[in-house]
Amino acid sequence: MSDIAEIKVDGKTVELPVITGTEDEKAIDISKLRDLTGFVTLDTGFKNTGSTKSKITFLDGEKGILKYRGYSIEELAAKSSFLEVIYLIIYGDLPTQKQLEDLQADISKHTLIHEDMKKFFDGYPSRSHPMGQLGSLIFSLSTFYPECLKPNQTAEEQDLTIIKLLAKFPTIVSFVYKKSLGHPLIYPKNKYDYVTNFLWMTFGQRTEDYDVNPIVVNAMNKLLILHADHEQNCSASTVRIVGSSDCNLYASIAAGIAALWGPLHGGANQAVIDMLELIKADGGDTEKWIAKAKDKNDPFRMMGFGHRVYKNFDPRAKIIKKACDDILENLGIDDPILEIAKKLEEAALTDQYFIDRKLYPNVDFYSGIIYRALGFPSEMFTVLFALGRLPGWIAQWKEMHENKEPIGRPRQIYVGETDREFVELKDRK
């Protein structure tokens, strides 16, 4: 295989280097293309464009492989905790026992949020979506910790900025939830591990002791691990491109939260449950809804199906489907929408439309059913996706700085009007 690609354009042939990744992925490095030819490439939606070289996550969409820092998602989901995966993704290696304890201790020092931040909750209207609140609260961290604004932070300063975010994010998520219920806020208890502390703040009551259910802790760890990173998706790319202007970590991640919110990305987990509820209320006729998804004149899409990169199966969906069965059985929950979900999946997987377009259930298809079984309302699902994705966003932002990447600034091909004669307002028709 040659490490040079030849491009012939406008009667001129230029040679461009071919880059090979450690998993044998190949790319043509076009960074000199415009200098050499005057041409740029056009790739709306970046379906063929690599934006960076990254060491964080590898995925092979054809084979259904996902690895964080070289470890398979199957093994991490089965054997590690979310905190171990946080360390792995951000710092590059699995932690030793001591490193894990140090990380937990560092986080414990910062789990409270500034008391003034609580006033924000009084300002949100009662119907406001938790993702809108989460995004603005994370953005606001940059006003409470202005030291994060400094570009070129030292490694220690950057680390403290990261630890504060890791520590406060679960507290903020829990407070958003408690406020939505009108319940008193439950402060963190640092004797708990990262995930248990989150569950305590979310489901604990001031009036009761909290009995931590190991099934719930285990399920939550698994779900968060499965969402922890997914290479250059819409929100991660957003975090990197916003961060490339030397914008601080908190604001960059708030931008990532906005990108995640859309129903084509992380918002799909809420959309799936809303869709399953709708189908149930409509009598549960899955064939009718499959036909709607296939009808090009109908805007309905089968939420939780399809993926830009996975064209065989989504390995996260496989793990989640199994976890979903186990968790509902362990918690003794019989959710009728699980049956509808399974019927939809079965029908879709044998339907030519879905086969031809390689549309398989993705990570969001079953995750909502688990979140529901754990007691979360559907409006919180995308917020939980964000909690899981946090280490990935942090690692992408950190790596972008370590790589000394230039400010992100795509080109375009202008197709608008060319020279027009200005007409005075009074003369315009």
Query: Binding residue for ligand CMC (CB under 6 A) from 195, 258, 259, 293?
Result: 293
Selected range binding ligand CMC among 76-84, 163-171, 259-267, 282-290, rule: CB under 6 A: 259-267
Dist CA 111 CA 93 (whole Å): 24
Q: Which residues are catalytic?
A: 307, 364
d(CA 213, CA 251): 35
In the stretch 393-412, what mask flags binding to ligand CMC with x, by CB under 6 A?
--------------------
Q: Is 359 in the site for ligand CMC (CB under 6 A)?
A: yes
Comparing C-alpha atoms, which of 218, 252, 216 is closest to residue 237?
252
Write out the DSSP string of 223-291. HHHHTS--SS-HHHHHHHHHHTTT--HHHHHHHHHHHHHSTTTTTHHHHHHHHHHHHHHTT--HHHHHH
According to CB under 6 A, which one of 87, 305, 393, 397 is a site residue for ligand CMC?
305
Q: Does 230 bind ligand CMC (CB under 6 A)?
A: yes
Q: How far apart are CA 52 and CA 68, in angstroms?
A: 16
Region of 332 (left: φ > 0; alpha: ψ -120 to 50; beta: rest) is left
Q: Is 256 in the site for ligand CMC (CB under 6 A)?
A: no
Residues 331 and 373: their CA atoms lie apart, in Å, by 8
3-state secondary structure of 48: coil
Residue 268 within binding range of ligand CMC, rule CB under 6 A = yes
Does 306 interact with ligand CMC (rule: CB under 6 A)? yes
**Which alpha helices (DSSP H) does 38-81 contain, by range?**
73-79
Q: Which stretch binds ligand CMC (CB under 6 A): 116-124, 283-291, 296-304, 419-427?
A: 296-304
Smaller CB distance to ligand CMC: residue 69 or 316?
316
Q: Residue 176 interacts with ligand CMC (CB under 6 A)? A: no
CB closest to ligand CMC, residue no: 306
- Cα distance between residue 366 and residue 374, in whole Å: 13
Query: Is 318 a residue that touches ligand CMC (CB under 6 A)?
Result: no
Q: Comparing C-alpha atoms, which of 127, 131, 126 is closest to residue 173?
A: 131
Among 9, 112, 264, 278, binds ligand CMC (CB under 6 A): 264
What CA dihedral angle connects 136, 139, 145 and 150, to 10 degrees? -170
Separation CA 31–CA 411 (nearest Å): 12
Cβ distance to ligand CMC smaller for residue 364 or 399: 364
Q: Which range of residues in 58-66, 85-93, 265-273, 369-377 is near ligand CMC by CB under 6 A?
A: 265-273
Query: Which of 249, 240, 264 is CA-nearest to residue 50?
Result: 240
Q: Which of 204, 304, 388, 392 binds ligand CMC (CB under 6 A)?
A: 304
Classified as helix, coil or strand, 90 is helix
Minimum distance from residue 79 beta carbon to ligand CMC (Å): 23
Counting contacts by CB under 6 A, is residue 389 touching ligand CMC? no
From 266, 388, 391, 392, residue interacting with ligand CMC (rule: CB under 6 A)? 266
Of 51 and 143, CB closest to ligand CMC: 51
b/e burial code for range 278-314 (CB count within 10 A of at least 16 → b): ebeeeeeebeebbeebbeeeeeebbbbbbbeebbebb
Does residue 289 belong to the site contacting ligand CMC (CB under 6 A)? Answer: no
363 binds ligand CMC (CB under 6 A): yes
Residue 357 binds ligand CMC, judged by CB under 6 A: yes
Least distance from C-beta 172 to ligand CMC, angstroms?
22
SS3 state at 409: coil
Would you say 265 or 398 has its CB closer to ligand CMC?
Answer: 265
Residues that bind ligand CMC (CB under 6 A): 230, 233, 264-266, 268, 293, 301-308, 357, 359, 362-364
